[in-house]
Structure 1
Amino acid sequence: MHLFITSLNSGSNGNCYYVGNEKEAVLIDAGISCRETERRMLRLGLSLDKVKAIFVSHEHSDHIRGIPQLAKKYQLPVFITPDTLNNSGLPQKGFPLRPLRGYEPVWIGELCVTAFPKFHDASDPHSFLVAGQDTNVGVFTDIGAPCEHVIHHFKQCHAAFLEANYDEDMLEKGRYPYFLKNRIRSGKGHLSNQQALALFRTHKPSFMSHVLLSHLSKDNNCPQLAADLFTPHMDNTEIIVASRFEETPVYRISATNETR
């Protein structure tokens, strides 16, 4: 089975990732407005009627801001861990809420979504593997360090949204206060370009066809810098930088490495 993926937005101003097959799809996080989600999907030729659920990685506003209106309008079930829900401020009525637990697969039609723990400064943060039969797509963002859970699932992916949040020199020399710099580069903050590249080079499977570099910092990174760092090591993997201002194209992911 092939899967279709796109980043509708990626960055501290909002995160939303689409993974679907021909019949159904899921959103991983919904940090942009309902209207903007609709506009971007329309431009891509994607239908919100295919979206059957929203999965929440953690409670930070750039990952949940759009959920109340989007989930209510389309009556989408929202899968979220109890601790994340309790710390999110999300309304607990108006749309279906479903419990999410690590390593308990959730079936959405023919899609299987598995959450697993990660390091981040949130109450109960999780990353995701979305599988369509033999095709796997991973969402690995907001990660302080690549723990064994992340590495294990990254090795299985035909495509991945991989955080490359900051350049270490830009962060060090930038305008952020010292406490915020330490928060970002702590083991529960974000992955740097260099950390993401190390994960990619060490654990990328030979069959990985696409990596979307995600959640780039506006102040402490540069899209061209991140792309240039990865390009010499891409082999047969296409490297795409996900924008914080617009959607990416839709990519067709397959276990046989077919692309569109």
Structure 2
Amino acid sequence: MSLYIASLNSGSNGNCYYIGNDREAVFIDAGISCRETELRMKQLGLSMDKVKAIFVSHEHSDHISGIPTLVKKYGIPVYITKETLRSRKLYLDKKLILFFETDEIITIGGLSIKSFSKAHDAADPHSFTVSGNDVTIGVFTDIGVPCQNLATHFQRCHAAFLESNYDEEMLANGRYPYFLKSRITNGKGHLSNTQAREVFVQNRPSFMSHLLLSHLSHDNNNPELVLNLFNEVAPDMHVVVASRHEASPVFHISPYPQSFLTVAKKERLSTSAGDVQLSLFIPGT
């Protein structure tokens, strides 16, 4: 009763997120080379044979550049919106291009993938949740501004990849030209550390156990700064920064966070068997 997740890479140099069960998996985006994808999957002990689909969030190159070679080599279907494909042609076998609509739920084996629209400077940008085995994982990056869509879906997640792109002060005082600073902060760019933290604090469900802070800027952020910022408000859960240079570990996400299981174990020592069954129910999962 769990899902396995990993970031193969996260940042403006390429994004690829793995979510799967014991039988099948999906990629959310594939923005690093096929060779690097294969290498990192092998390092993590994950099999490309389990990857049954790639879901495309939007057309920017750091999210799609690895797709043509991966699809040609492995025959993996690509789920994409018509507007995204129209804005950035991907030369793929037409039989492997599958379109999805906003809020549609796609079922792949034991996984259910749901899309929802977001604010970003792209043709038809979407974020996703992936559910299976009573677990829901969110992939929430490249989001210009927190919105109700993000809040609603975040509240359902046992683990999430959450963008924490830039520190406001570092960006303001950094070397980027004015037009680029404006693009990042204009409501269709990226989430700042402060915005991401507010999303987490206001919407974290009690059963969320893992948070992977994602898509950090190389020039306008600092992993240690971000970790300290979130550890202040999440001392009881696993918080990591998804690297722009290497894969994360594979995380095993259960429906029941460790803190809840500890409570349940204590209750088992002092209650009847019937009471223990009630103690293992988590509302909202």
Task: Report the TM range for the smaller structure's normalisation.
Answer: over 0.9
1:72-91 correspondence runs (5 A): 72-91=72-91
Unaligned runs of 5+ in 2: 260-285
* Preserved contact between residue 164 and residue 193 of structure 1 (Cα < 8 Å): yes
Cα 1:95–1:64, aligned 2, differ >3 Å: closer, same or farther?
farther
Cα 1:258–1:24, aligned 2, differ >3 Å: closer, same or farther?
farther
Q: CA deviation at 1:95?
A: 6.1
SS of the counterpart of 1:160? Answer: strand
Q: Return the alpha-carbon distance in structure 2 between the equivalents of residues 124 and 195 of structure 1.
A: 22
* Preserved contact between residue 15 and residue 29 of structure 2 (Cα < 8 Å): yes
> Which amino acid letter does the alignment assign opposite residue 197 of structure 1?
R
| 2:226 aligned partner | 226
| 2:269 aligned partner | none
Q: TM-score, normalised by structure 2?
A: 0.89
1:54 matched to 2:54? The reply is yes
| 2:185 aligned partner | 185
| 1:176 aligned partner | 176
> Which amino acid letter does the alignment assign opposite residue 246 of structure 2?
E
| 2:102 aligned partner | 102
| 2:45 aligned partner | 45
> Which amino acid letter does the alignment assign opposite residue 115 of structure 1?
S
Of 228-237 and 41-50, more deviation after overlay is shown by 228-237
* Preserved contact between residue 252 and residue 258 of structure 1 (Cα < 8 Å): no
Residues 197-251 of structure 1 show CA distances to partners (whole Å, capped at 9, x for unaligned) of 0111111011100000000000000100110111111142211000000000000
Q: CA deviation at 1:93?
A: 2.5
> Which amino acid letter does the alignment assign opposite residue 174 of structure 2?
G
Q: CA deviation at 1:146?
A: 1.2
| 2:275 aligned partner | none
Query: How many residue pairs end up in the alignment?
Result: 259
Q: Return the alpha-carbon distance in structure 2 between the equivalents of residues 107 and 156 of structure 1.
A: 18
Q: Return the alpha-carbon distance in structure 2 between the equivalents of residues 161 and 232 of structure 1.
A: 18
| 1:26 aligned partner | 26
Residues 126-160 of structure 1 show CA distances to partners (whole Å, capped at 9, x for unaligned) of 00000004100000000001111111000000000
Q: Return the alpha-carbon distance in structure 1 between the equivalents of residues 193 and 86 of structure 2.
A: 32
1:153 matched to 2:153? The reply is yes
SS of the counterpart of 1:181? Answer: helix
Q: CA deviation at 1:184?
A: 0.2
* Preserved contact between residue 71 and residue 95 of structure 1 (Cα < 8 Å): no
What is the root-mean-square deviation in Å for CA atoms of aligned residues? Answer: 1.2
| Larger fraction in helix | 2
* Preserved contact between residue 75 and residue 95 of structure 1 (Cα < 8 Å): no
Q: Return the alpha-carbon distance in structure 1 between the equivalents of residues 143 and 118 of structure 2.
A: 6
| 1:15 aligned partner | 15
SS of the counterpart of 2:198? Answer: helix
- The structure number with the bigger radius of gyration is 2
Q: TM-score, normalised by structure 1?
A: 0.98
1:105-124 correspondence runs (5 A): 105-124=105-124
* Preserved contact between residue 76 and residue 95 of structure 1 (Cα < 8 Å): no
Runs of 4+ aligned structure 1 residues displaced above 3 Å come to none
Q: Return the alpha-carbon distance in structure 1 between the equivalents of residues 212 and 41 of structure 2.
A: 18
SS of the counterpart of 1:233? Answer: coil
SS of the counterpart of 1:196? Answer: helix
Cα 1:35–1:258, aligned 2, differ >3 Å: closer, same or farther?
farther
SS of the counterpart of 2:128? Answer: strand
> Which amino acid letter does the alignment assign opposite residue 84 of structure 2?
T
Unaligned runs of 5+ in 1: none
| 1:139 aligned partner | 139
